[in-house]
Amino acid sequence: MPEVIFAGPAGRLEGRYQAPKQRGAPIAIVLHPHPQFGGTMNNQIVYNLFYTFANRGFAALRFNFRGVGRSQGSFDHGAGELSDAAAALDWVQAVNPEARACWIAGVSFGSWIGMQLLMRRPEVEGFISIAAMANRYDFSFLAPCPSSGLFVHGSEDRVAPAREVMPVIEKVKTQKGVVIEHQIVEGANHFFDGKIDELTQTVETYLDKRLGKKDEAAA
């Protein structure tokens, strides 16, 4: 898994990239939790999501937002981080010009960034949002949500309690043919401590269902 450095809006961004074995493979980028609360691309959930996609034939990238690790710049309260994510997607697309499709996965703060990027990039056909803090960040921009995807929360999440988040997500408008699924991992907190295997299995099951129908070559 090569370490990569690519240009971002505020300077160099540090990432890890897994090249696909087949030309034209879909792309996946994984966005990490809040930089000011210890979030990095080496977060265990981010790491597992990265390999979940890579093991299914995707061109997979995870990277550090500005000011994290060896990425240049400083925290920008979401606006700059969204620009970083766009630059990351641009970079993977440049490396994989024949890519047929793209997925975005995000964890907590990264989920918020990822969903904003999804609204700006019509090539994104699927998303995975883990522990989305819809109680703290405004997700009303998903009107309508253009792509099908999966939201996952822990039943014991005290940062973004499922009982507060689910009604917000359920109000998200969808276009015809777009399906948003919700899954709860029982006993899991916001960080899925001790429940990452269950979380990973939930995501894998969802991906295999989607890919089996839409992208046999990548499964």
Is residue 217, in this structure, part of any structural domain at all? no
CA 74 to CA 78: how far, in whole Å? 11
Residue 172 pLDDT level (bands cut at 50, 70, 90): confident
CA 26 to CA 103: how far, in whole Å? 8
Average pLDDT, whole number, for the chain? 94
Is residue 176, in this structure, part of any structural domain at all? yes
Is residue 29, in this structure, part of any structural domain at all? yes
Is residue 93, in this structure, part of any structural domain at all? yes
The CATH code of the domain that includes 17 is 3.40.50.1820
For the beta carbon of residue 75, count every other beta carbon within 10 angstroms.
Answer: 14
Please say if the pLDDT value at position 19 is more than 50: yes
Please say if the pLDDT value at position 168 is more than 70: yes
User: According to the model, what pLDDT value does residue 175 have?
Assistant: 85
For the beta carbon of residue 182, count every other beta carbon within 10 angstroms.
Answer: 14
Q: Please, what sign has the CA dihedral across residues 93, 116, 216, 62?
A: positive
For the beta carbon of residue 51, count every other beta carbon within 10 angstroms.
Answer: 15
User: According to the model, what pLDDT value does residue 207 have?
Assistant: 98
Is residue 33, in this structure, part of any structural domain at all? yes
* Domain extent for 7: 3-211
Q: Which pTM does this prediction carry?
A: 0.95
Q: Torsions phi, psi of 73, nearest 5?
A: 100, -170
* Tokens 């039943």, residue located: 155
Count: domains in the chain:
1
- Kindly tell me the number of DSSP H helices and DSSP E strands found in the chain: 5, 8
Is residue 219, in this structure, part of any structural domain at all? no
Is residue 218, in this structure, part of any structural domain at all? no
Please say if the pLDDT value at position 219 is more than 70: no
User: According to the model, what pLDDT value does residue 105 have?
Assistant: 98
